[in-house]
Amino acid sequence: MGYNHQQLKKLFYPILFSFIGLIMQFNCFPVLGQKLESQYMTEFNSGDSIYIITNREDTAGKNSLNLINAIRESKNLIFLKATFYQPDSLITEIIDSVSFLNQISSIYKDFLLFVHGDSKTYEQAVMRGLDIQKLYGARVIVFSWPTKDIDLNGIKNFKNSKKNAVKSDVHFVKLIGIMKSFREYSEYIPDKKLSLLFHSLGNSLIMNYALCDSCVKSNSLIFDNIILNSAAVNQLNHKFWVEKLNFQERIYITSNKSDFNLKGVRIFTKDGKQLGEKVKAPYAENAEYLNFSKAVGFRTPTGTTHTFFIGEVPDLNKNIYNIYNKLFHGKRLDLSNTGVYLKRKDGYCYDIVKTKIK
């Protein structure tokens, strides 16, 4: 459906200012350090906790923590538990890997491993994980990797983060190994699900892992769902690496052709069409494609075109909330429900039906 003249007039200035903001974000301003930020922080309870695994370098001494925007020289991961206290305090404790596994294995809830995208400090990554945990009820484990250098502007920071993704190969293999152990620990709880969410540039870690010939791969079932969400990786030839993944029950790939952030990646870098924008054949035979172009499309603030699993979109759109709720709890989507999913003529992609957002 096209826009009429009045609709175009209303959209002109939001689009213009958003584009100016995009230029400034990618080319002008250094990435600024921010205080704790969250969509749902006022709803958190003091004592709410979340688990984190990180490959960030720690420059502090023994029994203290100072995580910086650099890859650890050691091949070992750091295991953490962060606890939130009202109004805006986050306390992090270091725990060893055995205690980490024992603690998460004793929690009888579905789990989601969350790999965040670009431009996140450690604290911002943790708060995003707490947001997901609060909204959807699954317990979240955050993999926090270095993606935010406060001295670099948007595009330079993005390129630096891509380099860090490549450097994270060894740590990502170890991360998968930890999740394999967690799955084995939880085998006696058959209803306990474990899923894996990659958001935005976080998808580069799973792509690099799949393409890494020297990486030790796992052939065991580890994850119920893998979600490649708003992927900031080239869509060209994605079939080749996605089909190499074999430690999951299901793979879901989301896209939105009006994703403003991914358009910025394509405009200001040499990268091509992004996987999270518009997927084209050849398709991966082991994945289902969910197209949110009609259900989300272009809107302001423009960040909601890229991140629509938290915030105003799922808060106001029941269908989108229900989709992500099922994905994050390791459930299979009922793609035969034509009230939500419309299968395309090519037989691969499903358009998410547009519903009125309040």
Residue 284, amino acid: A
Distances (CA, A) of 145 to 31, 71, 251, 263, 330: 16, 8, 23, 24, 24
For residue 176, which of 208, 133, 128, 136 has the smallest C-alpha distance?
A: 208
Q: Do the bridges between strand 67-71 and strand 56-58 make them parallel or antiparallel, or are there none, so unpaired? A: antiparallel
Instruction: Assess whether pLDDT exceeds 50 at residue 31.
Output: no
Confidence class of residue 303 from pLDDT cuts 50, 70 and 90? very high
Q: Which two tokens stand for residue 192?
A: 């306990």
Tell me the per-residue pLDDT of 262-298, one tens digit each, with 9 for 90 and over: 999 999 898 999 999 998 999 999 999 999 999 999 9
pLDDT of residue 28: 47
Q: Which two tokens stand for residue 122?
A: 């450690």
Confidence class of residue 204 from pLDDT cuts 50, 70 and 90? very high
Instruction: Assess whether pLDDT exceeds 50 at residue 30.
Output: no
Residue 14, amino acid: P
CA–CA gap between residue 100 and residue 79 (Å, rounded): 7
pLDDT of residue 14: 57
C-alpha angle 298-353-299 in degrees, rounded to nearest 5:
15
Instruction: Assess whether pLDDT exceeds 70 at residue 311.
Output: yes
Q: Which range has the worst mean pLDDT, 2-11, 48-57, 121-130? A: 2-11
pLDDT, greater one: 14 or 48? 48
Task: Spell out the long-range contacts of 20-23 with Cβ–Cβ below 8 A and sequence spacing 24 or more.
Answer: 21/302, 22/260, 22/263, 22/264, 22/267, 22/302
**Average per-residue pLDDT for the chain:** 90
CA–CA gap between residue 205 and residue 85 (Å, rounded): 32
CA–CA gap between residue 329 and residue 192 (Å, rounded): 9
CA–CA gap between residue 200 and residue 203 (Å, rounded): 6
Residue 152: how many other CB atoms lie within 10 Å: 18
pLDDT of residue 172: 97
Tell me the per-residue pLDDT of 212-239, one tens digit each, with 9 for 90 and over: 987 877 778 999 999 999 999 999 999 9
Q: What is the 3-state secondary structure (H, E, C) of the chain?
A: CCCCHHHHHHHHHHHHHHHHHHHHHHHCCECCCCCCCCCCHHHCCCCCEEEEEECEEECCCCCCCCEEEEECCCCCCEEEEEEEECCCEEEEEEECHHHHHHHHHCCCCCEEEEECCCCCCHHHHHHHHHHHHHHHCCEEEEEECCCCCCCCEHHHHHHHHHHHHHHCHHHHHHHHHHHHHHHHHCCCCCCCCEEEEEEHHHHHHHHHHHHCCCCCCCCCCCEEEEEEECCCCECCCHHHHHCCCCCEEEEEEEECCCCHHHHHHHHHCCCCCECCCCCCCCCCCCEEEEECCCCCCCCCCHHHHCCCCCCHHHHHCHHHHHHHHHHHCCCCCCCCCCCCEEECCCCCEEEECCCCCC
- Considering Cα of 132, then 135, then 136, then 138, what sign does the dihedral take? positive
Average pLDDT over residues 185-193: 83
- Considering Cα of 212, then 123, then 276, then 253, what sign does the dihedral take? positive
Task: Give every CB contact of residue 351 below 8 A, 6+ residues apart in sequence.
Answer: 291, 293, 294, 295, 341, 342, 344
pLDDT of residue 218: 76
pLDDT of residue 195: 98
Instruction: Assess whether pLDDT exceeds 50 at residue 79.
Output: yes
Instruction: Assess whether pLDDT exceeds 50 at residue 34.
Output: no
pLDDT of residue 1: 46
pLDDT of residue 29: 43
